[in-house]
Structure 1
Amino acid sequence: MNTAVMAPQAREAALAAMSTGEELDVLVVGGGVVGAGCALDAATRGLSVGLLEARDFASGTSSRSSKLIHGGLRYLEMLDFGLVREALRERGLLVQRLAPHLVRPIPFLYPLRHRAWERLYAGAGVLLYDTLGISGGFGAGLPRHRHLSRGAALRAFPAMRPDSLVGAIRYYDAQVDDARHTLFLARTAAAHGAHVASRTEVIGFLREGRRVVGVRARDAESGAELEIRARTVINATGVWTDDIQALLAQRGQFHITASKGVHLVVARDRIPATTGMILRTATSVLFVIPWERHWIIGTTDTPWDLDKEDPAASGRDVDYLLEEVNKALVTPLTRADVQGVYAGLRPLLSADAELTSKLSREHAVDTPAPGLVIIAGGKYTTYRVMARDAVDAAARDLTTRVPASCTAQVPLLGASGYPAAWNRRGVLARRTGLHVSRIEHLLHRYGTLVDEVLALIEADPSLGAPLDGATDYLRAEVVYAVTHEGARHLDDVLTRRTRISFETPDRGVRAAHAVGPLIAGPLGWTAQDTAHEIARYESRIAAERAAQEQPDDHTADATQRGASKAASLVGAVA
């Protein structure tokens, strides 16, 4: 099977094919989950496809979410039944068919603070949630909800203050490593014939009269400019939708409001519990989410109109999340417990609302000019539906007949045969000499593509050792990120191919010194290049830490951008 190995040379080949080959049927701009989904949808309909991402795949919103695939329980209160049912169907598809190696069920507790009426009210909502999931046709992959007494709830979540609940409801949603899932989408699109290139920024549109016939782009690695012609261009750039649209000097029918979501990462032993938890706040909800040997606590939901590339988490954000979660914990968390912090921006359709938490997560498709389609809004879970609708709109602009979307039937790379591979994990452990827990870790990250990682270890046994500074990962995974998964910089490896940047107490600084030399060879780096990358990464982490000490968004943004600018100078000197 073609697994679309995204080696360093593959990017150059893709750019050459897009710029010197025949006109594409569809060119997708934006390598987040929706853009990668569009590329896969179009490629599996038999269209010729290109995908461009200005930075790294999933480097924006699609690597900074709550890592949940869910229906949106809170949207039931907004009476968005259609949105919830659609999202729950997509959840079931991902768990059972499309990406069982990447998307897994996890339990949550919903604490009850009032006796009779709240159990009836909340219970009816969760029952409806389960029912909508089943009615979507793919609800069997997750257990049904259960009502728990106060004692049973405290046994499941001993860290919770006994006086903060009278009982609870346990229900299930699903979890995903969003960056890896997005990468698998792009790689699966490439396996179906799409030309895929990161670090390529669109700087203008090509036009013939009113019609858009392609784009002008700049290779961020070499600085070279190129023209890519396409019969239809899809703008799937999320919070950058309006920026790309501005290159056309023509507004669409909607624009995007960015909402900042901040998450904290703390060590698993700081919160004794066997299940996640969802808490109500004054403005939204707060999740405490199991994540390997950690907890993810989030999120905030505040308007953001500053730097979109790297939104800053402020001290206010950190304190808010700690204050809210501590209302439910026996032993309060402090800033010293915060191991990692990340901030992302939700691309919400603009509406007349004072709070971005009230804006709809439904998506919209627009065709502001012949040959151009815009897809915006939505939520991570429904990326496949958004992609289908965008390609449907593009197909209407093509003169040839285009088949209907088939991505509901197309498993991502690594998914086919996954249940059998999981059942044989003990056999695989004995064959490779790795502990079974290591094999489970690899299967959760690569699915049946695990054989490609193990082949690297077979060729060089030293790659089977744990990575210095981040021992949950093997050295082979770092090399694989470059030779097979399109990583081109140190940050790509530490922040998105792995999650070392927020899973280690030093946020990956020590690991950076181990990773740099490992990936230097495949990327053709000199010793100076390697030192440059390490210095840039260290400065980026220092900038984020400094921002998180600031009292508000504006000072945090200014601090982070100022430190990032200094980091560039440091890197240039290194």
Structure 2
Amino acid sequence: MTTEFNPDRPADLGPLYRAEAWRRLGAEQFDIVVVGGGVVGVGAALDAATRGLRVALVEARDIAAGTSSRSSKMFHGGLRYLEQLEFGLVREALKERELSLRLLAPHLVKPLPFLYPLTQRVWERPYVAAGLFLYDQMGGAKSVPGQRHVTRSGALRVAPALKRDSLIGGIRYYDTVVDDARHTLTVARTAANYGAVIRTSTQVVGFLREADRVMGVRVRDSENGEVTEVRAHCVINAAGVWTDEVQALSRQRGHFRVRASKGVHIVVPRDRIVSETAIILRTANSVLFVIPWETHWIIGTTDSDWDLDLAHPAATHADIDYILDRVNQVLVTPLTHDDIEGVYAGLRPLLAGEDDQTSKLSREHAVARVAPGLVSIAGGKYTTYRVMAAAAVDACNDFIPTRVAPSITERVPLVGADGYFALINQCEHLGQRYGLHPYRIRRLLNRYGSLIDEVLAYAADDPSLLRPLEAAPQYLRVEVLYAAIDEAALHLEDVLARRTRIAIEYSHRGVGCAQEVADLLAPVLGWTAEDVAFEVDTYRARVEAEVASQQQPDDASADALRAAAPEARPEILEPVPVPR
């Protein structure tokens, strides 16, 4: 391990980088400072950096700590938006999906076959086929096959878990699956690789102003309470569901408001549903996805208003019952609460509208120049993050004194993408080199891509790091070390919930390996024995609060339990609530 910051490895967001980033935030003049470490925020940092701009990004908690780690894990075109006549959004999303599959992130975004079960005779097959034909023609069938019609028997051959009387036939088509938190982190590391200053646990607590002009932000370290000022020609508010709260700090009236919609997902073992394909089911208000996730299935989602704690949305017993009731209508062997190994709830930042049903609100995004030197962006969907990011940076052009080049991120692969396809063909060779099963190599390649050598290099002097975690054997011990040295993880929660997905993939929700992971992190992060105990106790309290909240009948009671759990970041400040 290095003892000082290495400028030749700017994508390594470890403790040494973090210290240097704090110095730079207070010392340099930036063209743009981005507020928010979700996918749109890190996308904006990457977009600005690759245009040659001086850019910094600050995030109060962790990269992807909010919405961007709690999605349906799909990088998709939005098939259901065709029914809402949002053709432009679907075409745009499909273009982005194709870019990521083929060039930008092939190590992270993977093709995924879907089955659309048909339940109505005569009209439904041509109706859905017409929609899928449009989907394919708009770009949905470039790197993946187009739609294929199957009979009821054909559908049951690929998805035997479905009741025979729950469908009359089906249509197969393709979309994609992605680990959203890892993808967002990879965008952030790519931005850093091109010169962006990325700093987590750095909360905006005020704006710098000269007359009516915004000149930067005042930030507070969420770990130790230190404060500094970051000067920039333009500030981009990309805070997602916190957009209104950040906006309020500027004392400027926003041009739009953000409405939070809660989406809940459950995670069950792979053997509980026998199917070779993902499944999409229509519900009264929206759709339900059944998505393969390595050794599990992810099933969701709900779509309901949320006006409580934005940092820790809570799933209720009613939310879980809703998902189980809907999916059990079509399954031969019903799922029960005992089958559930993970649950997570996220908030979609929707543009506020007049329709009371959040499922009907547009997923289009909006960009506004709120004041001289302040741009806000909100809405949209995960898949179109790159387009949103480019639009936000474009809106800053008039506030930056130098000429701003056009966006080029559609030609900039994320770190780990280069060489990925060749490495996948070398799994046997790589396995022999590192003494790992080719299955393990393939899994590492699909998490880190061509950075795999960087990850495994830390085990060169300590082969024990190549052992799996005892209570989470999908992950190697070296991945925990890498998360702290290179991936900006500062707390146990960061590793168990986002750098890995142990928090939703194991029935112990991460508690079973908390001590082992904390012991691995301690030397890198400089933790004392008391720090280790605090991290383990805090994480256990988080899990206990989440499990208890999931037994509650309504949002208010679930939120009260979840919000009472301690924060891992000791100096984080709760934003002043904004009436919604």
TM-score range normalised by the length of the shorter chain: over 0.9
Once residues 276 and 351 of structure 1 are traced to their aligned partners in structure 2, the CA distance between those partners, rounded to angstroms, is 32
* TM-score normalised by L of structure 1: 0.97
User: 1:265-276 to 2 correspondence within 5 Å?
Assistant: 265-276=267-278
**Partner residue of 2:15?**
8
Match for residue 4 of structure 2?
none
Contact 2:63–2:200, Cα closer than 8 Å, also in 1: yes
State the partner residue of 1:363: 365
Question: Which amino acid letter does the alignment assign opposite residue 5 of structure 1?
Answer: D
Q: Percent identity?
A: 60
Tell me which amino acid in the other structure corresponds to 2:40.
Answer: V
Deviation sequence 1:469-497 (CA, Å, 0-9, x none): 10000000000000110100000000000
Q: How does 1:14-163 map to 2 (within 5 A)?
A: 14-21=21-28, 23-133=29-139, 139-163=141-165
Query: Does the CA-based 8 Å contact 1:547-1:556 persist in structure 2?
Result: yes
Aligned partner of residue 306 in structure 1, secondary structure: coil
Q: 1:215 aligns with which of 207, 217, 239?
A: 217
Where does the alignment leave 5 or more consecutive residues of structure 1 unmatched? 569-574
| Inter-partner Cα distance in structure 2 for 1:50 and 1:567 | 21
AA aligned opposite 2:507: P
Contact 1:146-1:170 within 8 A present in 2 as well: yes
Q: Deviations over 1:8-53 (max 9, x none)?
A: 11111111111112x1001000000000000000000000010000
Residues 464, 476 of structure 1: 8 Å contact kept: yes
Contact 1:44 1:192 in 2 (8 A): yes
Distance 2:493 2:569 in 1: 13
Give the letter aligned to residue 373 of structure 1. Answer: V
Structure 2 unaligned segments of length 5 or more: list them: 1-7, 571-580
Match of 1:572 in 2: none
Shift of 1:566: 12
The superposition leaves residues 44-96 of structure 1 with CA deviations (integer Å, 9 ceiling, x where unpaired) of 00000100000000000000000001111111011110000000000000000
Quick one: structure 1 residues 472 and 566, their matched pair in 2 at CA, closer, same or farther if it must change by over 3 Å?
closer
Counterpart amino acid of residue 8 in structure 1: P
Return the letter of the residue paired with 1:65: S
Name the SS for the 2:460 alignment partner: helix
1:452 shift after superposition: 0.6
Write the deviation string for residues 531-550 of structure 1: whole angstroms up to 9, x where unpaired: 11000001100000000000
Q: Where in structure 1 do 4 or more consecutive aligned residues deviate above 3 Å?
A: 563-568
In structure 2, what is the equivalent of residue 498 of structure 1?
Answer: 500
Are 2:339 and 1:332 aligned? Answer: no
Deviation at 1:114, TM superposition (A): 1.7
Q: Bigger CA drift: 558-567 or 275-284?
A: 558-567
In the TM superposition, residue 565 of structure 1 has moved relative to its aligned partner by 7.7
Is the alpha carbon distance of 1:179 and 1:70 closer, same or farther for their aligned partners in structure 2, counting shifts above 3 Å? same
Supply the distance in 1 between the matched residues of 2:250 and 2:10 (Cα, whole angstroms). 36
Distance 2:244 2:220 in 1: 19
Give the CA deviation at 1:278.
0.4
Of the three residues 516, 520, 524, the one matched with 1:518 is 520
The letter of the residue matching 1:112 is: L
User: Would the aligned equivalents of 2:538 and 2:568 in 1 still touch at CA under 8 Å?
Assistant: no
2:561 corresponding residue in structure 1: 559
Deviation, 1:3, is: 5.9
Change in Cα spacing, 1:52 to 1:566, as seen in structure 2 (3 Å) is closer
Q: Give the whole-Å Cα distance in 2 for the aligned partners of 1:14 and 1:112.
A: 54
Could you tell me which residue of structure 1 aligns to residue 252 of structure 2?
Answer: 250
Verify: 1:453 aligned to 2:468, yes or no. Answer: no
Give SS of 2:314's match: coil
* Residue 471, structure 1, aligned to residue 478, structure 2: no
- Partner deviation per Cα, 1:249-268 (whole Å, 9 max, x = no partner): 22211000000000000000
Flag the 1:50–1:563 CA change in 2: closer, same or farther, 3 A.
Answer: closer
Deviation per residue, 1:406-460 (Å, 9 max, x gap): 0000000000111011111111011111000000110000000000111012121
Q: Which one of the candidate residues 529, 532, 535 is aligned to 2:531?
A: 529
Whole-Å Cα distance in 2 between the matches of residues 153 and 245 of structure 1? 50
Distance 1:537 1:73, change over 3 A: same
- Cα displacement (A) at 1:6: 1.1
Q: Which residue is 2:576 aligned to?
A: none
Pairs within 5 Å for 1:344-493 = 344-493=346-495
Q: Which residue of the partner structure matches residue 3 of structure 2?
A: none
How far off is 1:115 after superposition? 2.4
**Change over 3 Å in CA distance of 1:340–1:567 after alignment to 2:** farther
Aligned to 2:5: none
Out of 315-324 and 455-464, give the one that drifted further. 455-464
Question: Structure 2 CA distance, aligned partners of 1:407 and 1:106?
Answer: 25
Superposition RMSD on alpha carbons, in Å? 1.3
Q: For residue 550 of structure 2, what is the aligned residue in structure 1?
A: 548
Alpha carbons 1:539, 1:567 under 8 Å: kept:
no
Look up the equivalent residue of 1:146 and give its one-letter code.
R
Specify the alignment match of 1:188 in structure 2: 190
- Aligned partner of residue 341 in structure 2, secondary structure: strand
User: 1:32 is aligned with what amino acid?
Assistant: G
| Secondary structure of the corresponding residue to residue 108 of structure 1 | strand
Question: Normalization by structure 2: what TM-score?
Answer: 0.96
| Separation in structure 2 between the aligned mates of residue 4 and residue 119 of structure 1, nearest angstrom | 49
Shift in Å, 1:397: 2.0
SS in 1 for 2:156: helix
The count of aligned residue pairs is 563
Shift of 1:140: 2.2
- Out of 451-460 and 98-107, give the one that drifted further: 451-460
Distance, in Å, in 2 between the alignment partners of 1:20 and 1:565 is 30
Equivalent position SS for 2:34: strand
> Cα distance, 1:202 vs. partner?
0.1
Between 108-117 and 153-162, the greater mean CA deviation after superposition: 108-117
What is the one-letter code of the residue matched to 2:20? A
Q: Which amino acid in 2 is paired with 1:62?
A: S
* 1:212-267 Cα distance to aligned partner (Å, 9 max, x none): 00000101112101001001110000000000000012221100000000000000
Q: Deviation per CA, 1:365-387: give whole Å up to 9, x if none.
A: 00111000101100000000000
Deviation at 1:562, TM superposition (A): 2.8
Aligned to 2:573: none
Query: 1:98 touches 1:415 (CA, 8 Å); kept in 2?
Result: yes
| Alignment partners' CA distance in 2, 1:343 and 1:336 | 19
